[in-house]
């Protein structure tokens, strides 16, 4: 049995000659919860629209559960449950009425409708609002209704485009936990720019930036691969402004240092970020160097980068050099 549920090869989409995505390729296997991560405008929604047959690619191919998005769009739609960024709901309907309508549109008939409704209402926690009008529901419950319509036909693949947009923190946690539970039995693609959603709900991450895939790994793997442990060292400022550059040059000259930069110049203290070339702990050599140079050491700590720092480096590059607070104030 082929366990590749989504396979895209070299997808390109151009609008008036400008590429929204460029050579996007991916494979998503049965049972994976994939976080499709990127800043706003990176190409996430364009990719999702192509995979769900809402738009066609300029170039490239994709298959969903073995069905080609161009040659067998109906087969693709039958294999998918899709929750777009803007959930399309008929707000004048009752929840039950809307889900019955969704079931009918999916070709579910007779006794199978009641069975499908019972399962999806339990799965999404809609029992308390089943008889309410959709317009009267909170944003969180409206998202649950959207999830329910995406699940009503028991699709093997679920694609969710920014499902937590507009939710308050409590609603977001509820929907995130629900998605994680749903992902135990289905292949899920969660398109988002929210790092917390990915770290909690996903077991694999694709990062897209400026229309191109820049990373494909687990959340832990991204931190291990791109998020080297850095040191932050703080010394007391001495003399004039040239002292800060002198200390920075000292750190850069040390063996095993990939880069060093001034993080903060504030209230007589200079803090530097120092990143090693490999996995070496630089604290012993930094401490010894500070003593040898006569620097007054105020702080020295080692910390691993979190996924947010990795994301920033992959999508925007390293953070800019710090400026002294004195100059900034001026």
In a shared domain, residues 198 and 304: no
Question: Which residues constitute the domain of residue 86?
Answer: 4-217
**Domain tally, the chain:** 2
Among left, alpha and beta (phi > 0; psi -120 to 50; other), residue 154 is left
In a shared domain, residues 315 and 200: no
pLDDT in tens, 207-242: 999 999 999 998 878 866 655 678 999 999 998 889
In a shared domain, residues 189 and 237: no
pLDDT in tens, 308-317: 777 877 887 6
Sign of the CA dihedral running 34, 159, 179, 30: negative
In a shared domain, residues 201 and 248: no
Contact 31, 148 (CB under 8 A): no
Instruction: Give the domain CATH number at 296.
Output: 3.30.70.3100
* Confidence at 2, pLDDT banded by 50, 70, 90: low
Specify the pLDDT at position 327: 39
In a shared domain, residues 265 and 194: no
In a shared domain, residues 185 and 259: no
pLDDT > 90: percent of the chain:
62
List strands edge to edge, sheet with 67-68.
18-29, 4-15, 59-64, 67-68
pLDDT in tens, 40-88: 889 998 999 999 999 999 999 999 999 999 999 999 999 999 998 777 8
Query: Does pLDDT of 305 surpass 70?
Result: no
Specify the pLDDT at position 307: 73
In a shared domain, residues 158 and 271: no
In a shared domain, residues 162 and 28: yes
pLDDT > 70: percent of the chain:
92
In a shared domain, residues 161 and 243: no
Cα separation, 61 vs 12, whole angstroms: 9
In a shared domain, residues 160 and 305: no
Boundary-marking domain end, from 217, 235, 251: 217
In a shared domain, residues 205 and 256: no
In a shared domain, residues 149 and 253: no
Query: Does pLDDT of 128 surpass 90?
Result: yes
Average pLDDT rounded to a whole number, residues 119-124: 92
pLDDT in tens, 245-287: 999 999 999 988 988 999 999 889 999 999 888 778 899 999 9
Average pLDDT, rounded, for the chain: 88
């Amino acid at each position: 049995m082929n366990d590749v549920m989504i396979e895209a090869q070299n997808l390109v989409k151009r609008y008036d000659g400008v590429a929204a995505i460029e050579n996007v390729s991916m494979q998503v296997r049965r049972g994976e919860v994939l976080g499709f991560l990127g800043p706003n405008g990176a190409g996430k929604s364009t990719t999702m629209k192509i995979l769900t047959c809402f738009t066609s690619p300029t170039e490239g191919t994709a298959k969903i559960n073995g069905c080609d998005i161009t040659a067998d769009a109906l087969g693709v739609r039958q294999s998918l449950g899709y929750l777009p960024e803007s959930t399309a709901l008929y707000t004048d309907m009752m929840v039950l009425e809307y889900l019955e309508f969704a079931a009918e549109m999916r070709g579910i008939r007779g006794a199978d409708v009641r069975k499908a409704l019972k399962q999806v209402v339990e799965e999404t926690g809609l029992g308390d609002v089943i008889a309410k009008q959709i317009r009267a529901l909170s944003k969180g419950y409206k998202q649950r209704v959207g999830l329910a319509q995406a699940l009503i036909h028991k699709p093997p693949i679920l694609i969710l485009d920014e499902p937590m947009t507009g939710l308050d923190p409590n609603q977001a946690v509820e929907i995130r936990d629900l998605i994680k539970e749903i992902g135990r039995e289905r292949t899920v693609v969660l398109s988002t720019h929210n790092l917390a959603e990915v770290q909690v709900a996903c077991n694999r991450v694709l990062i897209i930036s400026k229309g191109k895939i820049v990373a494909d790994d687990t959340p832990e793997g991204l931190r291990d691969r791109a998020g080297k442990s850095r040191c932050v060292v703080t010394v007391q400022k001495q003399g004039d402004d040239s002292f800060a550059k002198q200390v920075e040059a000292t750190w850069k000259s040390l063996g095993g240092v990939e880069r060093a930069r001034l993080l903060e110049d504030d209230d007589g203290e200079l803090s530097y970020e120092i990143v090693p070339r490999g996995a070496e702990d630089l604290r012993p050599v930094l401490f010894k160097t500070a003593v040898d140079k006569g620097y007054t050491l105020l702080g020295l700590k080692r910390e691993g980068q979190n996924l947010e720092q990795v994301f920033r480096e992959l999508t925007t590059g390293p953070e800019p050099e710090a400026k002294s607070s004195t100059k900034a104030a001026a």
